[in-house]
Amino acid sequence: MKFEEFGLSPELLSAVKKHGYDEATPIQEKTIPLIIQGVDVIGQAQTGTGKTAAFGLPILEEVDPKNPQIQALVISPTRELAMQTEEELNKLGSDKHVKTQVVFGGYDIRRQIHALKEHPQILVGTPGRLIDHLNRHTIDFRGVKTLVIDEADEMLNMGFLEDIETIVHYTPDDRQTLLFSATMPDDIKKIGVKFMEDPEEVHIASKGLTIDLVDQYLVNTREYEKFDAMTRLFDVEQPELAIVFGRTKRRVDELTKALQLRGYKAAGIHGDLDQAARMRTLRSFKKGELQFLVATDVAARGLDISGVTHVYNYDVPQDPESYVHRIGRTGRAGHHGVSVTFVVRGEIDYLRAIEKLINKRMAALKPPSAEEAHIARLKNAKAETYAVLGKTTIDNVEDEATEIANQYDAKLIAAALLHALSKDDERTRPVDIAQEKPLPRRHSSSDHGHNFRSGRSNGNRGRNGHSNGNRGGRRGGFKEEFVIDRGHKPVDRRNQRIQARPKGVAKAAPKKREFKIVKKS
Ligand SMILES: Nc1ncnc2c1ncn2[C@@H]1O[C@H](COP(=O)(O)OP(=O)(O)OP(=O)(O)O)[C@@H](O)[C@H]1O
């Protein structure tokens, strides 16, 4: 279906064209007309299939650029995703002169307050910072006509739910509410429906939850062999741009250091890094200056980085939905991708739960041996040698080149080049990665990952926030003392409450929250 058929205004159609969109994707085709009609919508479609524009375009259609109020609010789970969504809405709305703004933690709030005085019509934000602004009366949601809860199943899970309830209380009752995600477990959907009125559900039917464009493999391995298995695969597969997911922040730090030690261009991203460092890393990765982005689940949802060819799950994700989102960072917008998930004995139940959710068996991949990896590196070094020779001239190095050629045999010189380019020594350096125990046994393989047996796994130290998926007790069987706005530093909100409501909003202030570590037995 062509975008013209939606009856969108010419300013939006020109922006869509500039964006290079020709045909609407299935989720766009189904949801755009409904949203324009004002219906509440639950939109579920596979990763990378254009859900942002599916809610963005109809919102932009309805926004009045002459009205200075915030007319649409989009809540996102991570800062990076909030930024990306705002950028996309900004581009699509630029010809219509719609003002957009993003607010998230880790940045000077005064600057955001200053920018809010420009009166954006669309605001995108992460829950923690939106609540900060509500506390300070620096945002007013009385003009909100449409509320979007993006990555809705994540946002309505225990870790975020209270924040969402708080924010929703500040928006008008007659607003339109939209929930979007690639995954939507029934129990979470039931919670979402409470914020909606007669919602229409749009589920783009497909064989499975994951995109067919991603070839999904698994590697059965042992914990102590995992890193070598993964790097040997790198040497054989030569991924152009890859994301490696680790379960915890410590894991991400260790993997990043170890990859760097072995000469890979890698950098890590997780919630304990300051925002400037996170953004720097993401920018370098997008520019292709890094080959590997090592990340916790902070990068699992929504991030649209073109050219990601491979996703490696160094640790099997704790909940199956997380798997869908992680591997959805590749195979986007019609491109092909590969995912590899490493599974240690004792975590097979998790693999089965994933396979059940995605309705697909992953193909087992035998990790390359040290010899096979060496041969692959040599093959690449040979290709590189020819490429280098093809563009090398004697200019500027004549004397030195003659000196070396007089002393050494040509074969030896070629061997030196091959050794240097294959990085054989670097690639086999010993590294130090703490061995983690497997995840605790799954309680049930039919619960879609939302009801794990109690207690922490040894690898998941308590306040890891998003990285262990145990934010609110629902998944991990314990309540955390800290609420984490995904990717933010832990915020102790035990004594925090909303102090006041914006004028004229007759909603009860939410109850004081108490977060304690409570191990369920
Ligand atoms: N109609 C279209 N034609 C071509 N490309 C599109 C179209 N709509 C969106 N895209 C592009 O597809 C990519 C994925 O879109 P988007 O990030 O909205 O996916 P998503 O469904 O929200 O994914 P996720 O579930 O991972 O958040 C983006 O680069 C976007 O610009």
pLDDT in tens, 453-493: 222 233 332 222 333 333 333 333 222 222 333 444 334 33
Q: Is the pLDDT confidence value at 446 over 60?
A: no
363's enclosing H/E stretch is strand 363-364
Q: Is 38 domain-assigned?
A: yes
Banded pLDDT at 444 (limits 50, 70, 90) = low
Supply the CATH number for residue 252's domain: 3.40.50.300
Closest of 390, 382, 517, 389 to residue 462, by C-alpha: 517
177's enclosing H/E stretch is strand 176-181
- Residue 299: CB within 6 Å of ligand 1? no
pLDDT the model gives residue 291: 97
Q: DSSP letter string over 216-282?
A: EEEEEE-GGGHHHHHHHHHHHH--SSEEEE-SSHHHHHHHHHHHHHTT--EEEE-TTS-HHHHHHHH
Which residues span the domain enclosing 402? Answer: 370-422
pLDDT the model gives residue 208: 67
Q: How far apart are CA 278 and CA 108, in angstroms?
A: 16
Structure tokens at 195: 């914020």
Give the dihedral of Cα atoms 86, 90, 91, 93; nearest 10 deg: 130
Structure tokens at 247: 């379960």
Indicate whether 195 and 247 sit together in one domain: no
Which residue minimizes the CA distance to atom 27 of ligand 1? 302
201's enclosing H/E stretch is strand 200-203
pLDDT in tens, 236-259: 999 999 999 999 999 999 999 999
pLDDT the model gives residue 72: 98
Indicate whether 272 and 416 sit together in one domain: no
- Residue 77: CB within 6 Å of ligand 1? no
By mean pLDDT, which of 282-291, 344-353, 392-401, 460-469 is the weakest?
Answer: 460-469
370 CB neighbour count, 10 Å cutoff: 11
Q: How far apart are CA 382 and CA 479, in angstroms?
A: 54
Asked if 469 contacts 317 with a C-beta cutoff of 8 angstroms, the reply is: yes
Structure tokens at 519: 């191990």
Q: What residues have CB less than 8 Å from 10, skipping those under 6 apart?
A: none
Indicate whether 382 and 345 sit together in one domain: no
- Residue 51: CB within 6 Å of ligand 1? yes
Q: How far apart are CA 135 and CA 129, in angstroms?
A: 10
Closest of 228, 244, 341 to residue 291, by C-alpha: 244
Indicate whether 275 and 197 sit together in one domain: no
Q: Is the pLDDT confidence value at 311 over 70?
A: yes
Banded pLDDT at 149 (limits 50, 70, 90) = very high
Q: How far apart are CA 227 and CA 381, in angstroms?
A: 22
Q: Is 321 domain-assigned?
A: yes
Q: Is 380 domain-assigned?
A: yes
Q: Is the pLDDT confidence value at 438 over 90?
A: no
Q: Is the pLDDT confidence value at 152 over 60?
A: yes
Q: Is the pLDDT confidence value at 136 over 60?
A: yes
Structure tokens at 59: 């919102």
Collapsing DSSP to helix, strand or coil, 56 comes out as helix
202's enclosing H/E stretch is strand 200-203
- Residue 404: CB within 6 Å of ligand 1? no
> In a mutational test of the pocket of ligand 1, which residue from 5, 13, 25 has the highest number of ligand atoms less than 8 Å from its CB?
25
Asked if 449 contacts 436 with a C-beta cutoff of 8 angstroms, the reply is: no
**Domain finish residue from 203, 234, 256:** 203
Q: DSSP letter string over 287-332?
A: HTS-SEEEE-GGGTSS---TT--EEEESS--SSHHHHHHHHTTSS-
Q: Which residue has the higher pLDDT, 266 or 433?
A: 266
Q: Is 387 domain-assigned?
A: yes
Indicate whether 22 and 167 sit together in one domain: yes
Cα 334 to averaged position of ligand 1 atoms, centre (Å): 9
Cα 304 to averaged position of ligand 1 atoms, centre (Å): 8
pLDDT the model gives residue 432: 86
Q: Is the dihedral of CA 480, 481, 485, 490 positive or negative?
A: negative
Collapsing DSSP to helix, strand or coil, 17 comes out as helix
pTM of the model: 0.83
Indicate whether 135 and 243 sit together in one domain: no
Cα 86 to averaged position of ligand 1 atoms, centre (Å): 14
Q: Is 175 domain-assigned?
A: yes
Q: Is the pLDDT confidence value at 443 over 70?
A: no
pLDDT the model gives residue 334: 87
Q: Is 451 domain-assigned?
A: no
Indicate whether 292 and 393 sit together in one domain: no
pLDDT in tens, 27-42: 999 999 999 999 999 9
- Residue 326: CB within 6 Å of ligand 1? no
pLDDT the model gives residue 93: 97
Q: How far apart are CA 43 and CA 149, in angstroms?
A: 11
Indicate whether 221 and 85 sit together in one domain: no
Cα 466 to averaged position of ligand 1 atoms, centre (Å): 24
pLDDT in tens, 192-220: 999 999 999 999 877 667 778 899 999 99
Atom of ligand 1 nearest to the CA of 302: 27
pLDDT the model gives residue 421: 92
Closest of 95, 91, 97, 122 to residue 11, by C-alpha: 95
Which residue minimizes the CA distance to atom 31 of ligand 1? 50
Give me the amino acid identity at 78.
Answer: T
**Domain finish residue from 203, 228, 248:** 203
Cα 48 to averaged position of ligand 1 atoms, centre (Å): 5
Cα 24 to averaged position of ligand 1 atoms, centre (Å): 10
Asked if 480 contacts 463 with a C-beta cutoff of 8 angstroms, the reply is: yes
Which residue minimizes the CA distance to atom 23 of ligand 1? 48
| Structural domains counted in the chain | 3
Cα 52 to averaged position of ligand 1 atoms, centre (Å): 6
Q: What residues have CB less than 8 Å from 131, skipping those under 6 apart?
A: 163, 166, 167, 498
Residue range 167-184: average pLDDT? 96
- Residue 26: CB within 6 Å of ligand 1? no
Mean residue pLDDT of the chain comes to 85
Indicate whether 394 and 311 sit together in one domain: no
pLDDT the model gives residue 513: 31
- Residue 321: CB within 6 Å of ligand 1? no
Q: Kindly state the percentage of the chain with pLDDT values over 90.
A: 73
Indicate whether 41 and 184 sit together in one domain: yes
> In a mutational test of the pocket of ligand 1, which residue from 151, 330, 332, 335 has the highest number of ligand atoms less than 8 Å from its CB?
332
Indicate whether 102 and 160 sit together in one domain: yes
Q: Is 57 domain-assigned?
A: yes
Distances (CA, A) of 119 to 6, 100, 176: 28, 9, 21
Q: Which residue has the higher pLDDT, 300 or 512?
A: 300
Atom of ligand 1 nearest to the CA of 45: 21
- Residue 44: CB within 6 Å of ligand 1? no
Asked if 248 contacts 468 with a C-beta cutoff of 8 angstroms, the reply is: yes
- Residue 74: CB within 6 Å of ligand 1? no
Indicate whether 221 and 364 sit together in one domain: yes
62: exposed, middle or buried (Cβ count in 10 Å: 0-12, 13-18, 19+): middle
Which residue minimizes the CA distance to atom 9 of ligand 1? 50
- Residue 85: CB within 6 Å of ligand 1? no
Cα 25 to averaged position of ligand 1 atoms, centre (Å): 9
Q: Is 487 domain-assigned?
A: no
Q: Which residue has the higher pLDDT, 464 or 25?
A: 25
pLDDT the model gives residue 449: 41
Residue range 141-166: average pLDDT? 94
**Domain finish residue from 203, 238, 260:** 203
Residue 215 β-bridge partners? 338
